[in-house]
């Protein structure tokens, strides 16, 4: 008889559990974020496996969503950030690629003019998404704030 090796829970497993629990509970990302004391943007990104949860936030997520205790340690694992497609075909996500393609060089030039040679951190980073009423149709307002990191010359 073969020895059975227990299957470990993966980040993908926990993501599927979170999405299932969210759907069953009829919760929004804002409501889940409020339950764990984080922003909706960070909560979704971390739930999708793109950020690691601090221990207390992982415990709060497990409690809020009714996940198995094993999920706490999985949520704390460092992410491996892999995108499945080079350029996404989902229209909403593709538009962000379009924005970066059109305005990326402009943003880089303006950052360099205002701060010097460097980048905006996506690690020490905040983002919010809000709806803004507009006479030509509602607008999506995205605010990003990342720590400036100067390039070091050796």
* Beta bridge partners of residue 126, listed in sequence order: 145
Domains observed in the chain: 11-76 (1.10.260.40), 91-150 (3.30.1160.10)
60 touches 72 (CB < 8 A): no
pLDDT at 3 over 60: no
Model confidence pLDDT, tens digit, residues 46-92 = 999 989 999 999 999 999 999 999 999 999 999 887 777 688 889 99
Sign of the Cα torsion 10, 79, 29, 57 reads positive
State the Rg of the chain over Cα: 19
Catalytic residue IDs: 95, 98, 121
The CA distance from 43 to 50, in Å, is 10
Residue 1, pLDDT score: 47
Kindly report the three-state secondary structure assignment for every residue of 28-58.
CHHHHHHHHCCCHHHHHHHHCCCCCCCHHHH
State if pTM tops 0.85.
no
């Amino acid at each position: 008889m073969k020895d059975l090796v227990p299957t470990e829970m993966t980040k993908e497993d926990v993501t599927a559990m979170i999405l299932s629990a969210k759907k069953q509970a009829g919760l929004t990302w804002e409501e889940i974020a409020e339950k764990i004391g984080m922003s909706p943007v960070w909560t979704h990104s971390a739930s999708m496996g793109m950020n690691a949860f601090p221990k207390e936030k992982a415990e709060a997520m497990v409690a809020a969503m009714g996940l198995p205790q094993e999920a706490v340690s999985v949520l704390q694992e460092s992410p491996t950030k892999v995108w499945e497609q080079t350029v996404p075909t989902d229209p909403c996500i593709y538009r962000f690629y379009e924005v970066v393609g059109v305005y990326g060089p402009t943003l880089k030039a303006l950052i360099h003019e205002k701060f010097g040679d460097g980048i905006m951190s996506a690690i020490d980073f905040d983002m919010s998404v809000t709806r803004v009423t507009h006479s030509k149709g509602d607008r999506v307002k995205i605010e990003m704030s990342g720590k400036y990191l100067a390039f070091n010359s050796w």
